[in-house]
Amino acid sequence: MSQSLAATGTAAGPVAELALGGDLTCPARLTVPDLLAWPQHEADVSFECSTSGVQHHRFTGPLLHDVLADARPFFDPGRRKDRLRFLIAVSGADGHHALLSWAEIDPDFGQAPVLLAVTIDDTPLDRAGPQLVLPQDRCGARHISGITAIRVDGGYTAWA
């Protein structure tokens, strides 16, 4: 797709935008074409849905960690313990949402290769919006499609 089409959309509808917000130094609004600026990874994924059975898809896109780290969450990147408080809330356009912990995707901790997919089975997701891909998940429920917002929050403690 050309830059001008990406910026304006076409008769088929506007290009989807993802809002990155919360405890970030650099909050941003990103389109799927914007997500091509990060190194692209591939994942061949099988997951099971409780209603529709086993699904197989091939996804490409940046690592969620790379995109969020560049938005500079409010922690000192040099201090590992500082990162353990942070949660990542991912929401789709239809209201489906899930929480991840920062440590789950952090290379110093769980290092889960979670993608913000920009293609599914070689089809661009420019209009649908990016999809969360968790190759480690047996169940498909966290593979949130049409992501419209990701919020990073470092304010969680277990105090009653």
Binding residues vs Mo ion (CB under 5 A): 49, 140-141
Q: Which two tokens stand for residue 142?
A: 């966290």
Listed in order, strand segments (DSSP E) in the chain are 17-22, 28-31, 41-49, 53-61, 87-92, 97-101, 115-117, 119-120, 123-124, 131-133, 147-153
144 binds ligand MTE, rule: CB under 6 A: yes
Binding of ligand MTE at residue 92 (CB under 6 A)? yes
- Give the residue from 144, 146, 58 showing the smallest Cα distance to 100: 144
Among 33, 110, 146, 154, binds ligand MTE (CB under 6 A): 146
42 part of the interface to ligand MTE, by CB under 6 A: no
Which tokens hold the place of 44? 């061949």
Shortest Cβ 123–ligand MTE spacing (Å): 12
DSSP assignment letter at 15: P
Gap between the Cα atoms of 132 and 154, Å rounded: 21
Q: Return the residue of 143, 148, 151, 153 that touches ligand MTE, per CB under 6 A.
A: 143
| 99 belongs to the binding site for ligand MTE (CB under 6 A) | no
Give 48 or 155: the residue with its C-beta nearer to ligand MTE: 48
22 lies in the binding site for ligand MTE (CB under 6 A): no
Residues that bind ligand MTE (CB under 6 A): 49, 52, 55, 92, 94, 96, 140-141, 143-146
